Amino acid sequence: PLHDGKEQTANGTSHKTSLTVPYLNPLVLRKELENILTQEGDIALIKPEFVDEHPIIYWNLLWLMERIESKTHLPELCLPVPSDKEHIDPLSKVKTVHIQCLWDNLSLHTEASGPPMYLLYRETQPTSPLIKALLTDHAQLNKNVIQQIISAIRCNDFATPLKRLANERHKLKSNGVERSHSFYRDILFLALTAIG
């Protein structure tokens, strides 16, 4: 989940702030929440400090509640506490919070491992075979291999893409290129991009 909101500065201008936390699957989230409730009690879920003390749990809970369209008090916890002079509905400020699930964090990829397959797939391919041959980067996966993997996935064949990708990575490794991307994630993200 990504928290992207606006904060007011002393001179009245606003600026965007963002916070990125890792996604927790519901089973892990439940276990972590149970641990917090066991250690801190139910009262922990109504304290505004919960946001700063357990940001990963908080934002994942908020994301989950949004996904299942459940009413919750959780958005109020991240809002500034209004002073006694203000009579503004605190929920009206929730509109400044934007939560977005990111299925990949590009800052985690190193140049040494090269871009994941879905990014290679998105690149525009030159139309001329001569230009295509000249631009072939031997440190990256061949775009024909990526197309073959997509074709196999469309036929509900997962074994062929795994074998093909393992073979290509072995060739790259023999050329001194080590791709550290998980096979599963690399194929899954390619399928999400190419097939939807």
Q: For the residues of the chain, what is the DSSP string, one character each?
A: -EEEEEEE-TTS-EEEEEEE-----HHHHHHHHHHHHHHH-GGGGG-THHHHHSHHHHHHHHHHHHHTT---SHHHHTSPPPPTT----GGGGGGG-EE---S--GGG--GGG---HHHHHHSPPPS-HHHHHHT--TTS--HHHHHHHHHHHHTT--HHHHHHHHHHHHHHHHTT----S-HHHHHHHHHHHHT-
Q: What is the pTM of this model?
A: 0.49
Characterize 108-130 residue by residue with b for buried, 16 or more Cβ atoms within 10 angstroms of its Cβ, and e for exposed: eeeeeebbbbbbbbeeeeeeeee
List Cβ neighbours of 12 (8 Å cut-off, separation of 6 or more). none
pLDDT bin (cut points 50, 70, 90) of residue 10 is very low
The DSSP line for 173-188 is HHTT----S-HHHHHH
Q: Which of 90-94, 102-106, 163-167 has the lowest mean pLDDT?
A: 90-94
Pairing of β 14-20 and β 98-99: unpaired
pLDDT bin (cut points 50, 70, 90) of residue 6 is very low
pLDDT > 50? residue 1:
no
pLDDT value, residue 22: 81
Cβ contact 3:102 at 8 Å? no
pLDDT bin (cut points 50, 70, 90) of residue 189 is confident
The more confident residue out of 61 and 130 is 61
pLDDT value, residue 130: 52
Mean confidence (pLDDT) of the chain = 75
Convert the pLDDT of each residue in 128-179 to its tens digit.
555 455 444 555 677 888 899 999 999 999 999 999 988 888 888 887 777 7
pLDDT value, residue 2: 40
The more confident residue out of 1 and 84 is 84
Convert the pLDDT of each residue in 23-32 to its tens digit.
888 899 999 9
Q: Which of 66-70, 73-77, 175-179, 189-193 has the lowest mean pLDDT?
A: 175-179
Whole-angstrom CA distances from 183 to 9, 162, 166, 168 are 45, 7, 8, 12
